[in-house]
Structure 1
Amino acid sequence: MLNPSTWRTLDIDLLRTFHLACALGTLRAVAERRHFTLGAVSQQIKRLEQQLEQQLLQRSRAGVTLTAAGEQLRAQSTSLLVEHDQLMDRLLKQSTAGVVRLGLPEVYTPRLLNDILPTLAASHPRLQLQVQTSNSGELERLVDQGVLDLAIVVTPQPNESSMTRLWQTRPVWAGSASTASVANDPLPLALHPNDCPYRAIGLKTLQTAGRNWNTVFASASVAAIESAVDAGIAISVLDRARLTPGIRELGTRDGLPSLPDCHACLMHAPTANDIDSSAIDVVARQLQSIDFMPGRRSHQ
């Protein structure tokens, strides 16, 4: 018979803090999200590393990055957190019901369909999602107008009063791996709609750098923009996670200005709009538990 004194367990609370650090990129952001002090967050990470006898995060002034052990823990413990929350819902016999109106950029729908909807259907069969896809600027307006209850939006400057940071995104200049036209003047661009934050930061940095540009391709479709870049027609701003063998990252060595990081955030409507707030809370909690980082391809 096993001796209970030899059992070793992972602390779920420490694990949740670790996953937030992976997603948000800084311990300070984790502290703000969990309403802890920075010291308390550091201690939680340290305790988890002591439990596992391995360093999980590399600290620097810019934030935190995963060690090899940290990568392994994140990949293998994501489902554990989701299953833990599902189990708690079942044990507490929650019967939340209602319709929640959710908005998100189109590129996140695979994770919604593969992870979030099946989980909600299993744990909250009386809860329904009405989903609308659009770019981040339009989604922000729809939430402010009360048309949507929740939305995932990407922004360089989160509104801390209405947005919860989910993870960092890394916009980069992207061009064809074979024929990136970075030396052209004006610079040929493939642009997203006006409400796309990546379009806004790209054009702003070019204007600040005094670089001329010209729109040679425009589309609301991320896939279409990527095809134009891959074909060498133009360059664009894409999330680094969306780069493919046919698309390479461009930067200051190519004569292009550096781009700021952005944040994917969960935005809440100012009112519940005649829906039980517990239903919105259930969906919000589920969105915050999904790890978008493994194999993630994100934008807008």
Structure 2
Amino acid sequence: MDLKQLRALVTVVEAGSVTRAARLLRLVQPAVTRQIRALEEELGVVLFERTRTGMQPTDAGEALAERARRALAELDRARAELTPPAGEVTGIVTVGLLESTVDLLAEPLVAELTRDHPGVELRLQTGYSGHLQRWLDDGDLDLSLLYNLRSSPSLNVTPLLRERLWVAAPPGAALHADRPVPFAGLTARRLILPTDGHGLRTLINGGAHQAGVSLNSAISTNSMAMQKRLARAGHGWTILPSVGLAEEVAAGLLCAAPLCEPEVLWTVVLATSRTGRVPRAVATVARVLTRLIRMTVAQSRWPLVEVEPALSAR
């Protein structure tokens, strides 16, 4: 198999048809079809089912496409690193941002890299911590912010800060940052919480168990944005880390207070893979991201956090 065949495979999977893939690859349709057939003949498997609605990858096709994406991404990365202009940091860096940090960090990160390191091609992925860690382990991310990961045999983990969980509600609830709310004070409230199995939900359930209370999970969702939207609309109170609420509280869309009795903290860490060398572009993006986090804490835009030594020393 060659690179042209792998690009054809990935493009057909993503485009859903040979016709659309040919347009994206700037090839004639028969050429793309020949490349797919050559792969199938070499491997002795069927990669696609031809249907009325387009090309549906088989299990074998999906498996090969997943590996082909990674191989092509590594080659693109090598090409960018090996042919840099003199003195310029270049390369492709894929960064994982926790959903709760996107509003605070994504735009400043893009702006600083565009200004100071234009040779870095940034690819941003967002998600919950468990998803990001899996993508990092699989090699789909170069570095990522994660929650509550102390150590890992496959990852280098640098703790940055610890933040409290907050309860948030519409402005009329008159919650205040200097008046923490005990878990026992939530028992009569309809709550909008993450779904079971999510790391945040596990922390919330643990806090409630310590307090000896049961919480009324009226609505569960796997979307932080949905939690906040439903809380703003008055469908219940919600619980999130402080950084996930900072923008809405500053805009007066929600009011919030830290939870107490017990106080629940979770740690934000920066994680990179232990395998292989760290490319210069990845190290550069890690430094920029860490500096941005330190700056947001210093400016009180990431409220009520405890800074770890690794962050304060940078």
TM-score norm. by structure 1 comes to 0.56
Q: Is the 8 A contact 1:175 1:250 kept in 2?
A: no
- Once the two structures are TM-superposed, the CA of residue 100 in structure 1 deviates from its matched residue by 1.1
The verdict on how the C-alpha distance between 1:235 and 1:182 changes in structure 2, with shifts beyond 3 A counting, is farther
Write out per-residue CA displacement over residues 134-182 of structure 1, whole angstroms, 9 at most, x where no aligned residue: 0112111111222211111222x53286211222222123345545997
- Secondary structure of the residue aligned to 1:109 is helix
Correspondence for 1:148 among 137, 141, 144: 141
| Structure 2 partner of 1:171 | 165
Distance 2:100 2:185 in 1: 30
Correspondence for 1:191 among 190, 193, 208: 193
Q: Is the 8 A contact 2:164 2:258 kept in 1?
A: no
Distance 2:105 2:235 in 1: 32
Distance 1:110 1:229 in 2: 18
Distance 1:170 1:251 in 2: 7
Distance 1:94 1:166 in 2: 30
- Once the two structures are TM-superposed, the CA of residue 104 in structure 1 deviates from its matched residue by 0.6
The verdict on how the C-alpha distance between 1:185 and 1:261 changes in structure 2, with shifts beyond 3 A counting, is closer
| Structure 2 partner of 1:249 | 257
Task: Give, as a single letter, the amino acid of the residue that structure 1 aligns with 2:162.
Answer: Q
**Mean Cα displacement is larger for which, 190-199 or 201-210?**
190-199
- Secondary structure of the residue aligned to 1:162 is strand
| Structure 2 partner of 1:258 | 262
Map 1:1-300; keep pairs closer than 5 Å: 94-155=87-148, 157-159=149-151, 162-176=156-170, 178-179=172-173, 188-194=190-196, 196-241=198-243, 242=245, 244=249, 245=252, 246-249=254-257, 251=259, 257-272=261-276, 277-290=279-292, 291-293=295-297, 294=299, 296=301
Task: Give, as a single letter, the amino acid of the residue that structure 2 aligns with 1:206.
Answer: A
Question: Gapped runs of 5+ residues in structure 2?
Answer: 1-85, 176-182, 304-314
- Secondary structure of the residue aligned to 1:229 is helix
Task: Give, as a single letter, the amino acid of the residue that structure 1 aligns with 2:301.
Answer: R
The verdict on how the C-alpha distance between 1:178 and 1:250 changes in structure 2, with shifts beyond 3 A counting, is farther
Task: Give, as a single letter, the amino acid of the residue that structure 1 aligns with 2:120.
Answer: L
Question: Gapped runs of 5+ residues in structure 1?
Answer: 1-92
Q: Is the 8 A contact 2:145 2:269 kept in 1?
A: yes
- Once the two structures are TM-superposed, the CA of residue 288 in structure 1 deviates from its matched residue by 1.2
**Mean Cα displacement is larger for which, 183-192 or 100-109?**
183-192
Question: Pairwise CA RMSD of aligned residues?
Answer: 3.1
The verdict on how the C-alpha distance between 1:195 and 1:140 changes in structure 2, with shifts beyond 3 A counting, is farther
- Secondary structure of the residue aligned to 2:134 is helix
Distance 2:186 2:166 in 1: 18
Distance 1:215 1:166 in 2: 31
The verdict on how the C-alpha distance between 1:184 and 1:195 changes in structure 2, with shifts beyond 3 A counting, is closer
Write out per-residue CA displacement over residues 174-215 of structure 1, whole angstroms, 9 at most, x where no aligned residue: 345545997675753211245643322111111233322232
Q: Is the 8 A contact 1:136 1:195 kept in 2?
A: no
Q: Is the 8 A contact 1:172 1:259 kept in 2?
A: no
